Amino acid sequence: MDSRVGPDEPLDQQASRSNRLWAATLDAASEGMMVTDHRGNILLVNRAYTEITGYSADEVIGCNPRVLQSGTHDEKFYATMWQALNTTGKWRGEICNRRKDGTLYPSWVSISAITNDAGEVTNYLGVFSDISIVRAAQQQLAHLAHHDPLTDLPNRLLLTERVQHAIEMAHREKKRFALLFVDLDRFKQINDAYGHDAGDEVLKTVAQRMRCSVRAADTVARLGGDEFIVLLENMKNDDCAKRVANKILGNIADADIKGEPDIRLSASIGIALYPDDGVEVDTLLRKADSAMYRSKTLGRGRVDSYRSIEDE
C-alpha cells in the first residue's frame, strides 16, 4: 500500500496523517519524550516516558514536569537551567528524578524551546533517558579501583587519600590520629602448608576480624599480601591506639578459619602517631612499618610504637 501523500489529499487528511506519523515516531523512540506548552503544562508524552517514570499519559497531561522532581536539586540548579533555556533555547544535563513508585533514578535530559515565526516560545520538548545502568557500572568500576578484590577493604590508593584527608583535618583542627601497621605472623608458612585457598580464607577472616575491632568511622585497608593498615582518627588520647591494637591482636588470635581448624593466627602491629612521627603520608606509613618490624624482632604477636624506637 502506498503511504505517500497524494497531491489531491484534503488538508485535514494530511494533518491527520502527519499527526499519526508524529505519534508513531514518538512511541518508537527509546528515550522518554515530553512536550509542554510555553507555561510548562504537559501536552503529550510518549510510551518510553511511561515505561521510565511509571506515569501514564492520562496521569500527567495538564500537569507540570515538576511531578518528577526528587527534591535532590536546589532552586539554584533549576534557575541555572532556565537561564540557559531563556538565553540559548537549549539545556542538557543530568537530573535525579522520581518515579511514580517513589524510587529515584538518574536521567540525562535534553530540553529545547520551540518557537513560532515571531521567535516566541510556544512549546518545550524534553527528551530524557534513564542512565541508572551507566551510573551503576561507573560506581562499580570506581569501587574496584579503590578496594581490594579479595577482602573488599580499601586498597593503598583509597588509604592514601584518606590519610591525606586526615592530615589536613588534623592540622586544621589541631587533632591527633594514629596509623596501625598490621602484619600477620608466619603467613608464608600457612600458604605453604595449607595452600593458597586457605591463605585467602585467612586474609578474608582477618579483614572481618579487624573491621569488628574498630569504629565504623575508622579505616581498615589492605596494602597487599598479609599487610593491613588501620587509620584511627579523632582519638581521645594516645593510649587509644594501643588499646585498639591489642583488641585487634586478640580478635585475630581467636579467629577460626573455615575448613582449617588447625590454623592458629597471630599478628605484629606497629603504631605511628600524627604529628609526632610525621606529617606526610609516606613518612607515617614508613614509621608504622618500622615499628611493626621491631615488634616482630621482639617475639611477634605484640604491639610496638615508633616512639619507643626513638626513645631507645
Put the strands of the sheet holding 219-224 in their side by side order.
219-224, 227-232, 177-184, 267-274, 303-305
Is residue 274 within 8 A of residue 177, CB to CB? The reply is yes
Query: Is 238 one of the annotated active-site residues of the chain?
Result: no
Q: Residue 33 contacts by C-beta under 8 Å, 6 or more apart in sequence? A: 26, 45, 46, 48, 49, 125, 126, 127
Put the strands of the sheet holding 121-130 in their side by side order.
42-45, 32-37, 121-130, 104-115, 90-98
* Catalytic entry in 130, 218, 226, 289: 226
Distance of alpha carbon 299 from alpha carbon 225, whole angstroms: 21
Is residue 212 within 8 A of residue 251, CB to CB? The reply is yes
Is residue 170 within 8 A of residue 281, CB to CB? The reply is no
Is residue 207 within 8 A of residue 222, CB to CB? The reply is yes
User: In a 3-state reduction of DSSP, which class is residue 110?
Assistant: strand
> How is residue 249 written as a grid cell?
591482636
DSSP secondary structure letters along 193-209: HH-HHHHHHHHHHHHHH
Known catalytic residues are 226
